[in-house]
Amino acid sequence: MHQLKIRNALICDGTGAPAYCGEVAIDDGRITAVGTRLDGGAVTVIDAKGLALAPGFIDSHTHFDAQITWDGLATPSLEHGITTVINGNCSLTMAPVRAEHRAFVGAVFRQIEEMPAAAFDAGMRWNWETFADYLTAFRSHIGINVATLAGHSMLRLWVMGDAARERCASVAEITAMQELLRECLDAGALGLSTSWVDIDHEHRPVPCRLASPEELSALCAVLGEYGAVMQVVPEFWDPDLLCTRIDILGDLSRRHNITVTFSPLFDSNATPDLVSRALARVRLQVANGARVVPQMQTRPIDVTFEFDVPTSVFSSRPTWWATILKPAAETLRDFQDPELRRQLVDEAYNGMQPIAMEVHFPDFIVSRCHLEHNKPLEGRRLRDIAEELGCDPVELMLDLAVEEDLLTRFSAISVGHNNLERIVGPITDPLVQIGSGDGGAHVTRFATYGDTGYFFSRFVRDAGALTLEQAVYKLTGQVADNWGLANDRGRIQPGLAADLVLFDPNTIDRGPEIAVADLPGEGYRFLRRAVGIEQVFVNGIATYSAQQGYTEARAGQLVSATRQKAA
């Protein structure tokens, strides 16, 4: 007698093989039998007629590092069929962090990942320093599986202190970082993350960007000892730099026998040949024996901001950036200073376009006003309003912000990665992994969820570029293979963890963006609810259903790669 049996399901097993109608039996959190018809009964039987059954989706690029300590479900990931999230990307995680560096790390995380300060400070307890103690701090209350990378910037800060922000490491410091990375991997870290692009809250390079090539190679040598993965953020907006970085990653992969993955592979109208050039370079490296995996998101980018919280939209415009980094009262004063306004307006039109942004400031939409007499402006472009009023659109934006104490919300929809014809080929390429979803980050700027539903609706149903089985493989088996999780997750087969998702292939999609006030400190964030996800099982336990929402189950596990440490 099995504990649970799912019958009459269209089984997409995560290998890409043709789907078939069958049954899956689950006992003690494991898949115990799979077939067209299974013998024996079950305590609980679910009739899945009309639904597809897939392995739980794996989200390989998230930033739930802080959120997971107070929200063990990493909401709303489960609603989108995701049963495993990989945290610690982009060189950042919440450990290892010494007590004296907590303020700095918190400020960097809030800046780069755009978590509201009030929510971050209200939610974080910081009752750990080491990587092992960080995992212990949340492992008992998670309802979703969590894998975490060790952040390169955190390793440098732990070993070098404030000097990590100033210089290259010495030979002795590199050796100490190697040993610290081993401690993290022994504690359960999935691998190492680093970055070539990120800047901190003071507009300085994050610590890992000061690493010498010798330092990065030494850390990759440790990854080679463990068969672990490295994730990196390259200059994803510059074709020449990106191709150079791919060559460096290929060399590191071959030299240390590791998988390296970079994210994002991002399509832009500003550089329409970037993706094709990058993929050609990846193919060259793979042909020469490297394991280089590009990650590509499925959805276009939406941007939303208010001026009361710094936003990366302005990070490439120094006058704007310096102004919005100040306390709100000073920002309001600066927005009203005639000379500074002149500089802001000039920089809005003539400054460097923000990374991945393909919309100009006059085309931003006024998406929310706080004052009743401004409500008629909601949903309208600044350019159109300004034309009616006979004023400059950027001046109008500043005037609204001042009038409403910086709380006016401005938005731009589908401002990058939005050319479906151009990205359909790369996103279906066998070398490209679905990733870069950024769950847990930018929570008040745009909804970073819904890649899975968007993937099925746009690329399977609408474009017919992938079969259902191929799409499931890209979200499950392929990710598990790339990250060393294939011995336990990513496929429906006996002996593997029973992470499963039941969904309707005819309706699965991402829902509309909504604002939800569920952050600590009564803060809000933008979420996208899922469409067509019917039920989600984490390690064999029903954790979410479309009908009843979340259950009380907390069956999530800390996940690490199954690997053999080199002798």
Q: What is the pLDDT of residue 441?
A: 57
Q: What is the pLDDT of residue 567?
A: 46
pLDDT classification of 353: cutoffs 50, 70, 90: low
pLDDT, tens digit, 9 for 90 and up, residues 423-471: 999 999 999 999 867 776 555 555 565 689 999 999 999 999 999 999 9
Q: What is the mean pLDDT of the chain?
A: 91
Identify whether the C-beta of residue 259 lies closer than 8 Å to the C-beta of residue 229. Answer: yes
Farthest CA pair distance, the chain: 80
In this structure, what is the dihedral angle of CA atoms 268, 241, 148, 446, given to the nearest 10 degrees?
-30
pLDDT, tens digit, 9 for 90 and up, residues 277-302: 999 999 999 999 999 999 999 988 77
**Which residues, other chains included, contact 66 with Cβ-Cβ below 8 Å and sequence gap of 6+?**
94, 109, 115, 120, 123, 124, 440
The single-letter code of the amino acid at 520 is P
pLDDT, tens digit, 9 for 90 and up, residues 39-74: 888 999 999 998 999 999 999 999 999 999 999 999
The C-alpha atoms of residue 84 and residue 94 are separated, in whole angstroms, by 18
pLDDT classification of 412: cutoffs 50, 70, 90: confident
pLDDT, tens digit, 9 for 90 and up, residues 528-561: 788 999 999 999 999 999 999 999 999 999 998 7
The single-letter code of the amino acid at 553 is A
Gyration radius of the chain over CA positions: 24
Distance of CA 63 to CAs 147, 165, 233, 410, 487, Å? 11, 22, 14, 24, 25
**Which residues, other chains included, contact 25 with Cβ-Cβ below 8 Å and sequence gap of 6+?**
2, 4, 5, 31, 32, 33, 34, 38, 40, 42
The C-alpha atoms of residue 304 and residue 412 are separated, in whole angstroms, by 7
Quick check: helix, strand or coil at residue 550? strand
Q: Which residues partner with 256 through β-bridges?
A: none
> How crowded is residue 557: how many other Cβ atoms within 10 Å of its Cβ?
19
pLDDT classification of 419: cutoffs 50, 70, 90: confident
Q: Taking residues 3-30, report their average pLDDT.
A: 97
Residue found by looking up tokens 């067209």 in the block: 36
Q: Which tokens belong to 183?
A: 């401690």
* Intra-chain end-to-end CA distance of the chain, in Å: 43
Distance of CA 65 to CAs 30, 69, 133, 176, 276, Å? 27, 7, 13, 24, 33
In this structure, what is the dihedral angle of CA atoms 92, 93, 96, 100, given to the nearest 10 degrees?
80
Closest CA to 401 of 432, 361, 460: 361
Report all structural domains of the chain as residue ranges with CATH numbers, in order of start: 57-301+416-511 (3.20.20.140), 303-412 (no CATH)
> How crowded is residue 131: how many other Cβ atoms within 10 Å of its Cβ?
29
pLDDT, tens digit, 9 for 90 and up, residues 294-352: 999 998 877 778 888 777 677 778 898 889 888 899 999 999 999 999 999 998 888 65
Q: Which tokens belong to 58?
A: 């794996």
Alpha helices in 2-101 (DSSP H): 67-70
pLDDT, tens digit, 9 for 90 and up, residues 148-195: 999 999 999 999 999 999 999 999 999 999 999 999 999 999 999 999
Closest CA to 115 of 527, 528, 523: 523
The C-alpha atoms of residue 46 and residue 52 are separated, in whole angstroms, by 13
**Which residues, other chains included, contact 364 with Cβ-Cβ below 8 Å and sequence gap of 6+?**
381, 382, 397, 410, 411, 412
pLDDT, tens digit, 9 for 90 and up, residues 240-257: 999 999 999 999 999 999
Closest CA to 231 of 263, 253, 273: 263
Angle (CA) 480 485 486, round 5°: 70
Closest CA to 31 of 18, 48, 13: 13
Whether the per-residue pLDDT at 228 is higher than 90: the answer is yes
Alpha helices in 114-238 (DSSP H): 117-123, 131-138, 152-160, 171-187, 213-226
Tell me whether the omega of the peptide bond preceding residue 338 falls within 30 degrees of 0, making it cis: no
- Strands (E) across 271-344 are located at 291-296, 303-305
Quick check: helix, strand or coil at residue 229? strand
Identify whether the C-beta of residue 445 lies closer than 8 Å to the C-beta of residue 310. Answer: no
**Which residues, other chains included, contact 425 with Cβ-Cβ below 8 Å and sequence gap of 6+?**
none
Q: Which tokens belong to 177?
A: 């970082």
